[in-house]
Structure 1
């Protein structure tokens, strides 16, 4: 049973909180590269309860600064890109991407004030269409050689969407394999030719059964969880018959992400980036192991559900998530359309802005959720004892590959070997040569 104090530790993300201290030891996906493109590449960013301004200077360099100008705290998100940096419109103070003050033009000739001023800046890295920031004070950890980072740009696509609740309850949907048989149930399987870019609509590796059928007809998976160097590996095993087992292998990417299969050819690596205690963005990189990603189609599909520039969901609590009782009776389990992001959004937002875990009753299918909470609490304890938290830390992190994720049909007696062979076959056929997997 989670206590109110433990729930508070797990969910609070601001400066000085135990949870916030953990999250500042890991890279955070603060924006899409698309958000700092175009005529004015400046974007206000709120992450971990703090306000920043992200910009790309005239030379194309990325910078992330505290959002309030150090002169009199005006909003730098309204700044001007000129003269090698970002200039505050209030008095013209100019800062480069590292926070160095380049100019204080209203000061008298010969003033040395500028030399004594510095705006706090943060390391940023652009990977696969996503801009990651290191918001802690310690040396940034290396990026792992995960597939979503190793694949060429032609074989990845990035998108995001706002969820109006705490990041942890949003993440916990992704490491809960049992919910898909209900929350994402479709009463008809649909045409596989129209499955591109849609989760749970295609067939699994080695099967002609669509995932919608497997999830609908076999709703009692056996869940197994194991610890890994990147977090957790989660197995959902559905017995099709005495000889065949459907195997779904997913991963947590500690502390805020998971890696799951989307289809036989594509995977999803998805973070839940805390905006503050009560809001988060899901940020996903879709990675193809076959042909190049059809970005135009993937983007159009998602813009049906999200509005720019803030990636706000068009279906939300104000319009009951598009709920249609006739649809619920005849075509989908939720009655909220076919976009599974909407289903997940309803599920986690309906728990409240911050879920009160003192009122929940975890079941046998919640093994991964319980294991992940223990990892978070141990990470907090490590920091409080003066140690770096476990997982995704140190030089060895840069050598991590994969992580392996797949949906496949397997012989019941040899499912453990079979899913690894299926992963190896897919990776071996990929046109961009994914990094070799470590022994698993």
Structure 2
């Protein structure tokens, strides 16, 4: 367990907060590309307790600037896209994507006031359906050449969802391979051929055994945590009959993402991005190693649960996450429906707006969480001292990262689990056009 001071040290993210200073050194997802489609490409964004406005000008250029107009503080999120920038409706001051003030039309003819006005603007890029911004000091790090960033647009799909609690407890669910055997337990196995777009509903690779059965019947995984250049690799082994082993390889990418298998054909790269100390968004990129992603189907599946424009779950703490006692007795372990996002949201939010880690008692299966917190503390302390931190990589270093391998499968009797997941990852890449074209040795070993 941690002290209250230690808990604040790793959870609070506002300007000046230690963890906030660290996270500002990294690119942060701030919106889906979809959110800027339509007649008015302007979105308010709250990130780590600060207010911004994201917009796309008439030329298609992205801008990410402070939200309060430098004239008299009006809300630029209500601005108009016109004349090469975003215009404040209060007095017509106009700002381009670089934060330059182009016009102050209410001023006298010939006024040069606009030349002395600068709204702070931040680097912003579009990657795989997500818009990332950098609000820290100095130059931002490069993007590692992970699968989610190098796969063609046809083979990726991005989505997000709101979680009403601190970012760290949301992230830590992805470092916990053991919870799936209970939180995501289903009492009956569905037809795995109908599992497209659904996590923990298909068959494990190299078998016809439903993942739901694996999780339900074999609930004591042997978990190992191995440090890598990008963070950690977690391997969970479940012993099956006939000397077989279920092998699940997931990854923690510092400082706030994980990469996990969704199915035999897709992986999920997911970030947990602080809105403030007590709210966050998850952003995910689904990456396919087979055919193009059916984006329309994936989006429709998720919009059954998430409501626009703020991507709020229709099942939440205000309606008890849809809890039904009859369902809990006969169909699902939680009684909260068949979408595992609801299960995760309940588990995360039920810990409180900021989990009180002075009261927790970690077990053996929490070794990934322990390892990550130690790395997080070291990185925060280094940042406060003006030092380095993991994954602050250069463009030259970016190409040294690939994958990371994320496998969920069943190895044959007598095969070493490490050998199995390495061979399974290689076979999947060789069979995939875009991945085969860039095969390298696994990074970060």
TM-score (norm. length: structure 1): 0.98
Q: Give the aligned partner of residue 414 of structure 1.
A: 416
Q: Give the aligned partner of residue 212 of structure 2.
A: 212
SS at match of 2:15: coil
Instruction: Answer yes or no: is 1:438 the counterpart of 2:441.
Output: yes
Partners of 1:229 and 1:392 within 8 A in 2 = no
State the Cα distance separating 1:87 from its structure 2 match.
Answer: 0.4
SS at match of 1:399: coil
Instruction: Answer yes or no: is 1:136 the counterpart of 2:146.
Output: no
SS at match of 2:434: coil
Q: Equivalences for 1:94-109 in 2 at 5 Å? A: 94-109=94-109
State the Cα distance separating 1:397 from its structure 2 match.
Answer: 3.3
SS at match of 1:86: strand
SS at match of 2:178: helix
For 1:25 and 1:141, how far apart are their aligned partners in 2? 8
- For residues 377-423 of structure 1, what are the alpha-carbon distances to aligned partners after superposition, in whole Å with 9 as ceiling and x for unaligned? 00011111111212343341343111000101114551111110000
State the Cα distance separating 1:431 from its structure 2 match.
Answer: 2.5
Q: Give the aligned partner of residue 305 of structure 1.
A: 305
For 1:177 and 1:135, how far apart are their aligned partners in 2? 32
SS at match of 2:416: helix
C-alpha change, 1:15 and 1:398, in structure 2 (3 Å) is farther
For 2:71 and 2:234, how far apart are their aligned partners in 1? 50
Q: Equivalences for 1:233-252 in 2 at 5 Å? A: 233-241=233-241, 243-252=243-252
Q: Equivalences for 1:54-93 in 2 at 5 Å? A: 54-93=54-93
TM-score (norm. length: structure 2): 0.97
Q: Give the aligned partner of residue 366 of structure 1.
A: 366
Q: Give the aligned partner of residue 151 of structure 1.
A: 151
Pick which of 105-114 and 214-223 moved more: 105-114
For 2:238 and 2:414, how far apart are their aligned partners in 1? 10
Q: Give the aligned partner of residue 199 of structure 1.
A: 199
Partners of 1:242 and 1:412 within 8 A in 2 = no
Instruction: Answer yes or no: is 1:396 the counterpart of 2:397.
Output: yes
Q: Give the aligned partner of residue 283 of structure 1.
A: 283
Partners of 1:230 and 1:392 within 8 A in 2 = no
Q: 2:428 aligns with which of 426, 433, 438?
A: 426
State the Cα distance separating 1:253 from its structure 2 match.
Answer: 1.1
Partners of 1:185 and 1:333 within 8 A in 2 = yes
For 1:170 and 1:164, how far apart are their aligned partners in 2? 9
Partners of 1:142 and 1:398 within 8 A in 2 = no
State the Cα distance separating 1:438 from its structure 2 match.
Answer: 2.8
Q: Give the aligned partner of residue 348 of structure 1.
A: 348
State the Cα distance separating 1:332 from its structure 2 match.
Answer: 0.3
C-alpha change, 1:140 and 1:282, in structure 2 (3 Å) is same
Q: Give the aligned partner of residue 254 of structure 1.
A: 254
C-alpha change, 1:279 and 1:412, in structure 2 (3 Å) is farther
State the Cα distance separating 1:437 from its structure 2 match.
Answer: 3.6
Q: Equivalences for 1:312-351 in 2 at 5 Å? A: 312-351=312-351
For 2:212 and 2:432, how far apart are their aligned partners in 1? 26
For 2:83 and 2:34, how far apart are their aligned partners in 1? 23
SS at match of 2:223: strand
State the Cα distance separating 1:188 from its structure 2 match.
Answer: 0.5
Matched length: 440
For 2:243 and 2:192, how far apart are their aligned partners in 1? 26
Partners of 2:254 and 2:390 within 8 A in 1 = no
SS at match of 1:145: coil
C-alpha change, 1:284 and 1:368, in structure 2 (3 Å) is same
State the Cα distance separating 1:148 from its structure 2 match.
Answer: 0.4
Partners of 2:289 and 2:435 within 8 A in 1 = no
Pick which of 217-226 and 238-247 moved more: 238-247
For 1:372 and 1:402, how far apart are their aligned partners in 2? 20
For 1:73 and 1:101, how far apart are their aligned partners in 2? 15
Partners of 2:27 and 2:132 within 8 A in 1 = yes
C-alpha change, 1:229 and 1:74, in structure 2 (3 Å) is same
SS at match of 2:369: helix
Partners of 1:402 and 1:437 within 8 A in 2 = no
State the Cα distance separating 1:244 from its structure 2 match.
Answer: 1.2
SS at match of 2:435: coil
Instruction: Answer yes or no: is 1:231 the counterpart of 2:231.
Output: yes
Partners of 2:85 and 2:97 within 8 A in 1 = yes
State the Cα distance separating 1:297 from its structure 2 match.
Answer: 0.9
RMSD over aligned Cα atoms = 1.0
Structure 2: gaps spanning 5 or more residues = none
Query: Which segments of structure 1 move beyond 4 Å, counting only runs of 4 or more?
Result: none
